[in-house]
Amino acid sequence: MCEEQNNTCCLENTLAKIIKLQCIDSICDVEGGCDKPFLGPTPSMVCYNTRPISLYNCCTGALWSFPYTSGETTANSTVFRAESLDGCCLTCRILIDNGNDTYTDTSEFFTINLKCCGALQCHSDAFVEFNNN
């Protein structure tokens, strides 16, 4: 746990928007970045269901990394899908980064206190097929 935790959950609003976007089909505003109100390059495309994210440690600036097992492979990932938010507690699904903005889902989740996260990076929106492992 961070010894010098942030006193606020400054990422909460952005993550709440991301989670909401991942649950709807489309919205017709045009913005960019993490707050872009639709998934994909244009609001009329409904073929994206995930805005992959990475989180940075507030104390060290390092990427948060979590282990996963897929078949015979055990590794660590720094790319996640925000699934739910309860105050400052964010639950994420661990994604496997296949490169070229493609990801494979895992059935592994973690919950992190956002007070220990100093920054959020949003990756290009993607379609992730969930196998309900």
- pLDDT one-digit tens code per residue, 76-94: 999 999 999 999 999 999 9
Provide the whole-model pTM: 0.79
Q: Flag whether pLDDT at 45 surpasses 60.
A: no
| In the chain, domain spans | 12-122
Distances from the Cα of 116 to the Cαs of 62, 75, 84, 106, 132, in angstroms?
A: 11, 23, 17, 24, 29
Residue 27's pLDDT is 44
Quick one: which of 119, 124, 74 has its CA closest to 96?
74
Highest mean pLDDT among 19-23, 42-46, 109-113, 126-130: 109-113
SS3 string, 41-91, reads: CCCCCCCCCECCEEEEECCCCCECCEEEEECCEEEEECCEEEEEEECCEEE
Between residues 9 and 25, which one has the greater pLDDT? 9
> Are 115 and 59 within 8 A, CB to CB?
no
Mean pLDDT over residues 25-42, rounded? 59
Cα–Cα distance between 132 and 116 in angstroms, integer? 29
Between residues 36 and 109, which one has the greater pLDDT? 109
Mean pLDDT over residues 49-60, rounded? 94
